Structure formats: structure tokens, C-alpha cells
């Protein structure tokens, strides 16, 4: 019995101690987080998303078909207007050019021969033949005249005279034949045919030169290569896109603003851009154009607001999806608190102000607000106000303040 009594007594003492500790804990003032009222610029903003595009851009395209032989640039590279980007295989075009140039040289040589009366060897042979024929003609003429005088004196027969005449006529015919052959070397028909061959060869050379020139695809504008994914050996058809190039010191951001917020957005409002791929970086600009219609974007009804953003380091790339903050209104050096410090009680906005070891309800007037902070009137800089807590606060309640850094 003594042991059971002792155990019961110990249990009663433990339960009493627990109850006393719980009562003491409940009597302690609750811990409440507080922040100080500070002065800072408060921006009323429209937060949304957008997509980056270049303001000035152009697409380099292939002018002729062919496989890619050389890649001369890389994605993100700054290029000058006319700078070579890609070179196509031009082996066939160069071979065609050499063949055309050979035909041109041959045709020009043939024309030179025609202009000088024919080929030198043929002309020399004809000239030698003419000289001999003229000598033979003189001899035949003299013999014929001699035979005629002798016949007049009955010293020569008619047959001998006729034979001398025939030799004279034969010599004349030989000269006429050689002169016709010499004229044929530089005939009009030969010149026309040779000129036709020359024109054909020159046209083929121009085509080959154009193909060689078109093998090098240049940058149509100066800027940054922001779209490019070709590899050596890839086959291009005429008109295929090679690379997209744009000026990147300024970019355009197409911003998708939800319909209820469109009335707050005006041309010229400042814009702040962030990109998840480069945390800590910010880009600034202005609203350039407001939308003329509302359209569906997934489950949203949005207007497309065009903003011009300064990009001096050219690190904000076209095609990227970015976060956008359009600052609709700004109050500089305003007294403000976090939005979670504002409470509404009995239809009034106010805060719980720390006074000594307890809180007091303080009615305040609210001004400009954004997603994190609210401008207030009715407090002083440095005042401590309670943040939201699960514990119900009331005027005069003693608390244990915990200040956030």
C-alpha cells in the first residue's frame, strides 16, 4: 500500500507540475514579428511576361543551291554588313569558269587570225603559190606573144600558138583560185561563227562567276547573329534561310498584359526586364506602343504592349521569354510598409504599432501599392509595426517583439 500510495503521489505531483508549466507558458507574451516603417520609392507596377525580338533585323538567304563547305561565323557573333557568313561548295562552278575562259581565249585567237587575213601558215602557203603563179603567168604571156609574132612570119604553127594561149589561161585560173582561197580565210561567215562562239563562252563565264560569287553568303545588315544552326555539309536550296541578324543595342519586347490591367498602361511608362537565365541582371526601357485589340493567349485575355528596351551589352537575346514589370506610377521617398502589415478591422485599414511592450491599433491612410509594399500616411519613419501572425492581436496586447533584419 505504501508503494502504491507513493506512486500515486508522484503522479499527482508530476501532473500538477505540468499544469503549472503550461499555465506559465500560456501567460508568456506571444512572439510577434515586427518591421520598421521606412522611406523608399514605391512603384505601382504591372507584372507580366513577354518575348524579346530585335527592332532591326534581316535574314541572310542562299542565292543558289549547293552543299555548305565552310562555316565562317558562330551564334551570337557581331558581324558587319557584307561580311561572309557561309561558303557553299563552288568546285563545279570554278571548273565551268576555267572551261569558259579557255573557249574565250580560243575564240579571240580565231578572230585575231580572221582580222589578219587567216592563219599565218595557210596565208604564207597561199602567198607563195600566188608568187609562183604570177611568175608562171608572165612566162606564159611572153611565150604566147612570141608564138604570135612567129606565126605572123609563118615561123610558128597555129597549134603552137593555141598551146601557148592555153598555158596563159591556165596561169590566170591558178591566180584566181589562190585569190579566192585567200579571201575564204577571212570570210564574213567565219567571223560570225567565231563571234557566236565567243559570245557563248563569255556568257558561260559570267554564269560561272555569278555562281562562285553566290557561293559566299554575306550578312545583309550589320548586327548580331541571333539565329544560326547550320553545319558543314548541309544542303541549301535557293532562298533557304542561313542566319538571322539584328541590331542588339536596343530590342523590342512584346509584353502580354492581362485585360484588367490594360487601362493602367500608357505610352512612355518605364519598363524593367529580368531574365531567369541571367539572375541579377536587369534591363530598362519604355512602353513604345499600346495594343489596339485584345486576344486570347492560352486561358488569358491579353493585349500586346510593345516596349523598347536598352541592351548595351547585347546580352538580352531575341526569342527569349522574360519577366516584365511596367511601372505605372512611382512615388519617391514614400513612407511604406510590407503589404502583410496592413490589416482591416471594422472596415478600416490600419496596423498594430509597437508601443513599449504592447501593441496599439493605429488607423492609417493607404497610398500607392505594388505586389510587396504599400505607401502609408499616419506613421513615422522608424515606427515598428506587426506583420501578419496566426495569433489574434488586440489593442493593448502585450507581445514579445521579434524584428526582421
CATH of the domain at 226: 2.40.50.100
Q: Are residues 239 and 253 in the same domain?
A: no
CATH of the domain at 356: 2.40.30.170
Q: Are residues 239 and 320 in the same domain?
A: no
Q: Are residues 72 and 111 in the same domain?
A: no
Residue carrying the nine cell digits 521617398: 333
Q: From first to last of its 405 residues, what are the pLDDT tens digits of the chain? A: 456 666 666 666 666 656 555 555 556 888 999 999 999 988 888 889 999 999 989 999 999 999 999 999 998 899 999 999 999 999 999 999 999 999 999 888 878 777 665 555 666 676 777 788 788 878 888 888 888 888 788 877 878 878 878 887 887 888 887 777 766 665 545 678 888 888 999 999 999 999 999 999 999 999 989 889 999 999 999 999 999 999 889 999 999 999 988 988 999 999 999 999 999 999 999 999 999 999 998 899 999 999 999 999 888 988 899 999 998 888 889 999 999 999 988 889 999 999 999 999 999 999 888 778 899 999 999 999 999 888 889 999 999 999 976
Q: In this structure, are residues 250 and 311 in contact, taking their beta carbons and an 8 Å threshold?
A: yes
Q: Is residue 356 part of a domain?
A: yes
Q: Is residue 10 part of a domain?
A: no
d(CA 297, CA 299): 6
Chain-centroid distance, C-alpha 92: 30
List of residues 6+ apart from 219 with CB closer than 8 A: 60, 79, 80, 81, 82, 83, 84, 85, 243, 245
Q: Is residue 24 part of a domain?
A: no
Work out how many domains the chain is built from and give that number.
Answer: 3
* Domain boundary, last residue among 198, 227, 246: 246
d(CA 178, CA 321): 89
Given this model, what pLDDT does residue 402 score? 93
* Domain boundary, last residue among 154, 187, 211: 211
Q: Are residues 173 and 268 in the same domain?
A: no
Grid coordinates of 140: 606564159
Q: Is residue 196 part of a domain?
A: yes
SS3 letters for 27-55? HCCCEEEEEECEEEEEEEEEEEEEEEEEC
How many other CB atoms sit within 10 Å of the CB of residue 359?
24
Its pTM stands at 0.53
Q: Are residues 260 and 234 in the same domain?
A: no
Q: Are residues 130 and 235 in the same domain?
A: no
Q: Are residues 223 and 192 in the same domain?
A: no
Q: Give how far Cα 322 sits from Cα of 53, 256, 275, Å.
A: 11, 11, 5
Q: Is residue 79 part of a domain?
A: yes
Q: Are residues 284 and 327 in the same domain?
A: yes
Q: Are residues 80 and 173 in the same domain?
A: no
Containing domain of residue 377, as a range?
A: 42-54+247-403
SS3 letters for the chain? CHHHHHHHHHHHHHHHHHHHHHHHHHHCCCEEEEEECEEEEEEEEEEEEEEEEECCEEEEECCCCEEEEEECCCCCCEECCCCEEEEECCHHHHHHHHHHHHHHHHHHHHHHHHHCCCCHHHHHHHHHHHHHHHHHHHHHHHHHHHHHHHHHCCCCCHHHHHHHHHHHHHHHHHHHHHHHHHHHCCCHHHHHHHHHHHHHHHHHHHHHHHHHHHCEEECCCCEEEEECCCCCCCEECCCCEEEEEECCCEEEEEEEEEHHHHHHCCCCCEEEEECCCCCCCCEEEEEEECCCCEEEECCEEEEEEEEEEECCCCCCCCCCEEEEEEEEEEEEEEEEEEHHHCEEECCEEEEEEEECCEEEEEECEEEEECCCEEEEECCCCCCEEECCCCCCCCCCCECEEEECC
Look at the chain and count its residues. Answer: 405
Tell which residue, 282, 250, 290, has the closest CA to residue 266. Answer: 290
Q: Are residues 278 and 324 in the same domain?
A: yes
Q: Are residues 158 and 189 in the same domain?
A: yes
Grid coordinates of 3: 508503494
Given this model, what pLDDT does residue 374 score? 92
d(CA 201, CA 194): 11
Amino acid at each position: 500500500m505504501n508503494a502504491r500510495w507513493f506512486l500515486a503521489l508522484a503522479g499527482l505531483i508530476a501532473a500538477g507540475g505540468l499544469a503549472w508549466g503550461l499555465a506559465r507558458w500560456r501567460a508568456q507574451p506571444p512572439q510577434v514579428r515586427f518591421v520598421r516603417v521606412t522611406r523608399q520609392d514605391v512603384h505601382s507596377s504591372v507584372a507580366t511576361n513577354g518575348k524579346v525580338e530585335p527592332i532591326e533585323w534581316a535574314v541572310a538567304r542562299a542565292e543558289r543551291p549547293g552543299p555548305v563547305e565552310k562555316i565562317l561565323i558562330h551564334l551570337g557573333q557581331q558581324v558587319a554588313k557584307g561580311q561572309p557568313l557561309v561558303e557553299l561548295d563552288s568546285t563545279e562552278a570554278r571548273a565551268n569558269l576555267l572551261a569558259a575562259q579557255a573557249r574565250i581565249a580560243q575564240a579571240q585567237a580565231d578572230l585575231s587570225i580572221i582580222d589578219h587575213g587567216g592563219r599565218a601558215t595557210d596565208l604564207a602557203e597561199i602567198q607563195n603559190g600566188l608568187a609562183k603563179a604570177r611568175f608562171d603567168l608572165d612566162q606564159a604571156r611572153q611565150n604566147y606573144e612570141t608564138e604570135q609574132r612567129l606565126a605572123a612570119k609563118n615561123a610558128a604553127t597555129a597549134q603552137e600558138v593555141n598551146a601557148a594561149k592555153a598555158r596563159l589561161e591556165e596561169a590566170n585560173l591558178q591566180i584566181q583560185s589562190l585569190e579566192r582561197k585567200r579571201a575564204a580565210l577571212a570570210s564574213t561567215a567565219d567571223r560570225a561563227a567565231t563571234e557566236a562562239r565567243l559570245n557563248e563562252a563569255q556568257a558561260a563565264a559570267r554564269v560561272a562567276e555569278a555562281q562562285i560569287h553566290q557561293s559566299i553568303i554575306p550578312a545583309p545588315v550589320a548586327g548580331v547573329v541571333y539565329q544560326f544552326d547550320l553545319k558543314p555539309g548541309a544542303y541549301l536550296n535557293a532562298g533557304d534561310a542561313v542566319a538571322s541578324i539584328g541590331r542588339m543595342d536596343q530590342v523590342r519586347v512584346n509584353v502580354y498584359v492581362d485585360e484588367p490591367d490594360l487601362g493602367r498602361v500608357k505610352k512612355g511608362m518605364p519598363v524593367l526586364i529580368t531574365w531567369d537565365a541571367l539572375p541579377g541582371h536587369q534591363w530598362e526601357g519604355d512602353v513604345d506602343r499600346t495594343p489596339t485589340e485584345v486576344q486570347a493567349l492560352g486561358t488569358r485575355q491579353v493585349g500586346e504592349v510593345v516596349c523598347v528596351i536598352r541592351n548595351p551589352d547585347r546580352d538580352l537575346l531575341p526569342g527569349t521569354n522574360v519577366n516584365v514589370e511596367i511601372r505605372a506610377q512611382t512615388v519617391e521617398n514614400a513612407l511604406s510598409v510590407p503589404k502583410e502589415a496592413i490589416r482591416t478591422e471594422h472596415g478600416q485599414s490600419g496596423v498594430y504599432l509597437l508601443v513599449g511592450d504592447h501593441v496599439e491599433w493605429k488607423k492609417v491612410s493607404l497610398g500607392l501599392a505594388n505586389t510587396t509594399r504599400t505607401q502609408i500616411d499616419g506613421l513615422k519613419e522608424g515606427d515598428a509595426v506587426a506583420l501578419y501572425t496566426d495569433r489574434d492581436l488586440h489593442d493593448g496586447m502585450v507581445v514579445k517583439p521579434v524584428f526582421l533584419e
